[in-house]
Chains A and B, each alone.
Chain A
């Protein structure tokens, strides 16, 4: 269990460090240039040009976040199952139920 925890922590840290020092450094993020963004799906036309990182970069970033969170959720679910078993295993009048 301890090794798994360390694995999760390392995975999260490596996700961030690879974003900073790996193929996608902050300075070399492949920005999509001249993207016209319409604010929050509003119907009329806006001309302001703001730049977001490219779609491929954003998908990579999403995976860096989502995978550790999913692993964390998986371990939470195991813990829930363990706790539920201990509740069910408690003898009656153990003071657990009000």
Chain B
């Protein structure tokens, strides 16, 4: 017999069970949990990526809260407090290292999750809102990476953020205001750290948790999407508890990978940022911003009588809007048909991003 919530409650003592069932809609919750089924087929592996991203996010929240106990978001205290966390706080080096590595692994898992949803065309009706909420979540998570990168206030973080905040400057109409808001002035300085910190620990988490709630609710409501024209392997399995335990298994392995990286290759800290020092050679933003940064460096200064940066920003905004509205544009997917044009175009963009990222590091 399948172990459901009611079955689990039956293990409790009768008095506690009665107390709980009198106060909580146990049957409703149980029925809701039972609603979600996971299909089994040769692409089932991709279903783990969403849960994996959620796992890394939980690690981020936990380690982030611990780091907040010692971190000082001021120009004088930021670098020193991070050095103090690494050198003096018991297991501080480990917590900070786990936070940094998990951030990268979370973004990698999220990008792979988006790619898998794209290739399985899981964005097709009725899951348009899931795709759109996921797309906004991607930007929020990248925002975490961007705002968190400056917080240690070392050389690399300072110059990479300076380069990173230059890019939106050329967005028509709102660019300079946006950059001014982020930096708290013309250049990165004393006002920038508190702004980035507030975004990183307050604004972005609230927005992210709200959207994750929406995303998970929709996921629970619609269940997992079946890929187009893919034969199923037997009956669907219940998400709770069968697939959830499979998720936990993957989380266990992910946790081991995270610990191996964090302990054997602890995240370092560069020299404290000096506003007066010229930027050293070879500074690059984080790997997930490399495609945009590298594309900018190879573009000519003027394209179609428009400034190169402005041109790239316009292309990115139009491209982003197309991806955001993909469920409505892909009409073939609505009819359970594979859209080769969209799949090939997406593949070219993905290959370009991977290729240009590799070339930047070589």
Contact = CB atoms under 8 A, between A and B. Distances in A.
Interface of A: 26, 37-40, 42-44, 46-48, 50-53, 58-59, 61-62, 65-66, 69-70, 72-73, 76-77, 79-80, 83-84, 86-87, 90, 96-98
B246 interface: yes
Nearest to A42: B156
Given A65-B259, A97-B235, A83 B241 contact: yes
A86 B3 CA distance: 9
A74 to B, nearest CB: 9
Interface in B47-64: none
Nearest to A58: B263
Interface of B: 1-3, 37, 83, 86-87, 90, 93-94, 100, 152, 154-157, 223, 235-238, 241-242, 245-246, 248-249, 252-253, 255-256, 259-260, 263-264, 266-272, 280-284
Contact of B242 (A39, A40, A66, A87): A87
A44 B278 CA distance: 13
B256 A70 contact: yes
Given A62-B264, A65-B259, A69-B252, A43 B282 contact: yes
Contacts of B241: 83
Given A39-B270, A51-B87, 6 more contacts: A40-B100, A43-B282, A46-B271, A50-B269, A61-B94, A83-B242
Given A46-B155, A46-B270, A80 B246 contact: yes
Counting chain A CB atoms within 10 Å of each CB, the highest count among B2, B100, B152 belongs to B2
A72 B252 CA distance: 8
B162 to A, nearest CB: 14
B270 A42 contact: yes
B245 A79 contact: yes
B158 to A, nearest CB: 11
A97 B271 CA distance: 59
A98 B37 contact: yes
Given A87-B2, A87-B235, A87-B237, A48 B280 contact: no
A58 B91 CA distance: 11
Which of B100, B156, B283 has the most chain A CB atoms inside 10 A of its CB? B156
B355 to A, nearest CB: 20
Q: Lowest 7 A-B CB distances belong to which pairs?
A: A37-B268, A73-B252, A39-B270, A46-B270, A43-B282, A44-B280, A39-B268
Contact of A52 (B2, B93, B246): B93
A69 B256 contact: yes
B263 A61 contact: yes
B245 A48 contact: no
A51 B92 CA distance: 11
A54 B215 CA distance: 43
A61 B272 CA distance: 29
A98 B38 CA distance: 10
B256 A80 contact: no
A96 B154 contact: no
A39 B237 contact: no
A83 B248 CA distance: 14
B2 A86 contact: yes
Contacts of A43: 281-282
B237 to A, nearest CB: 6
Most buried by B among A38, A40, A47, A86: A40
B259 to A, nearest CB: 5
Contacts of B248: 76
A35 B321 CA distance: 47
A71 to B, nearest CB: 10
Nearest to B152: A39
Contacts of B256: 65-66, 69-70
B263 A40 contact: no
Contacts of B155: 39, 44, 46
A37 B269 contact: yes
B150 to A, nearest CB: 13
Contact of A87 (B86, B238, B269, B280): B238
B305 to A, nearest CB: 36
Contacts of A44: 155, 280-283
A90 B90 CA distance: 51
